[in-house]
Every structure is written in structure tokens, then in C-alpha cells.
Structure 1
Amino acid sequence: MQRIEFYVLSSSSLAERRRAACQLAQKAWRAGLPVFLRGSDAAECSELDELLWHFKRESFIPHSLYHEQPEAPVVIGLDEHPMQPQGVLINLSNSLSPHVERFSRVIEIVNQEPERLAACRENFRTYRQRGFDPQRVEL
């Protein structure tokens, strides 16, 4: 069964949320898992692409936007079909991925921004309705 986790941040900062996504992407990639980092829109995908170049100066995370290289170890995209199944989905969008079944692990990153909290609560309920057992993880 898929592992679905909601990583909960104590702040409402969008920057901290994106940084947490990059840290989790790095951890999964180092564990040898393909990663799909799903942004909420094209602008956020571009920002994540830039952040992955700079968030840790001492390390490199091989990544690409989906439309440039869909088979990169860490792919940044929206609702595209993942090229590498059984990887990790890090979802920064308010909605569930249409390809959630293709991933062995799904991570939703929750911060304390009211709109984000409401969307994540809805996603949590939807996962349960689909028969999953989502877990909460405090960061």
C-alpha cells in the first residue's frame, strides 16, 4: 500500500514550505528514489527549479522541469504523467495529483496559511475516502 504523509510546518511561510520540499526531494533522491515535485502553477515550478540550484551550496540535486527532461532524477511539474513509476510525489498543489496511484509514496507539505490548511484537510479526507491511511508528521 502507498505511504501518504502530511508533513506539517509550524509557520505560514511559503518560502519555508518550498525549502522543506527541496530538502525532502534531496533526501528521497539520495535514497535512490525518483522524485516528482508537483508545483501549484508554472511560476512555482520555475521558482522550485531555481531554489534547487541554490538551497544548499555544498550539494547538487540533479533536477529538471518536466518539459525539459521528464526522466530526470528529480522532476518538477504540474499534472504531467510521471515517466518513472513507484517514486515519491511531493505535492505542493492544493489538489491531489491525477496520477497519485503511480507513486509509492506521497508527501503533502502543510503550513499554517489558512487557505493551505483548508486544502490539505480536504486532501486528507479525500485520501481516506479512497481507502488510504494518511499519516501526519510534525516538522
Structure 2
Amino acid sequence: MPRIEFYVLSTAVPGDRLRAACQLAMKAWRASLPVFLRGNDDAQCAELDELLWRFKAESFVPHNLYQDEADAPVAIGLDQEPASTQGILINLGSTLSPQVERFSRVIEIVNQEPDLLTACRENFRSYRQRGYDPKRVEL
């Protein structure tokens, strides 16, 4: 059963949420863990792809869009089945991933946007209803 964590940002700036996802992906990759970055839609996936190239000038995070390279160390996609099991899912989608059980850890990144807070609270309840014990982490 995967470990579920909600990383809570103090801001409502959407870009802060994406940067946090990139930082977490880099940290997991450096720990040799496969990462699946789940975007909310194709546009957000493209934005994540671009941001991973430039968010840290002195670092490189090997990544690719799922449709271009499913087994990239950091794969960016939507609801596709991950190429590697027992990796980390960083969920930026507003709903639960249908692939939750394929990961050892799931990170939901929450900011203070009212609509996102509502969706994430519903996700938190859904995880509990499914028997998970989600934790809250303040960033």
C-alpha cells in the first residue's frame, strides 16, 4: 500500500506548485527512484516539461513526456500506467490517479487556491475511504 502525503504550500501562486513538483522530482531522481509527474492536462504536462529544463540552471533532471519516453527517469503524463512500479507519483491532477496502487509513494501538492483546496480535501477523504492513511506536510 503506497504512502500518501499532501504537501501544503502557503501561497496560492500556481507556479509555486509546479516548481515544488520539479524540486520533489529532482530529489526523488537523485535518490534513484522512478518518478511519474501527473499533470492535470496536456498543457500542464508541456509546462512541466519546459520547467524541468530551466528551474535549476546548475542541475539537469532527465525527463520526458510519457508518450515520447515512458521509461524516462522522470516521466510526465496523465493517467497512463507507469513504466516502473514502486516509484513516486507526484500528482498535480485534481482527482486521484487510477494508478495509485502502482506506486510506493504518492505526493499531492496543495496550494491555497480555493478550487484546488476543495479538490484536494475531496482527494484526502477519498484516500481515507479507500483505507489509506494520508499525511499532511507543511512546506
TM-score norm. by structure 2 comes to 0.99
Counterpart position of 1:130: 130
8 Å contact from structure 2 (residues 86, 104) kept in 1: yes
1:56-135 matches, cutoff 5 A: 56-135=56-135
Counterpart position of 2:53: 53
Amino acid at match of 1:27: K
Q: Which sections of structure 1, spanning at least 5 residues, go unmatched?
A: none
CA–CA distance in 2 between the matches of 1:98 and 1:4?
14
CA–CA distance in 1 between the matches of 2:20 and 2:77?
17
Amino acid at match of 1:25: A
How much has 1:2 moved relative to structure 2?
Answer: 1.6
Indicate the SS of the match to 1:79: coil
Q: Which sections of structure 2, spanning at least 5 residues, go unmatched?
A: none
* Identity within the alignment, %: 71
Counterpart position of 2:15: 15
CA–CA distance in 2 between the matches of 1:2 and 1:97?
12
CA–CA distance in 2 between the matches of 1:7 and 1:45?
20
Amino acid at match of 1:105: R
CA–CA distance in 2 between the matches of 1:79 and 1:98?
7
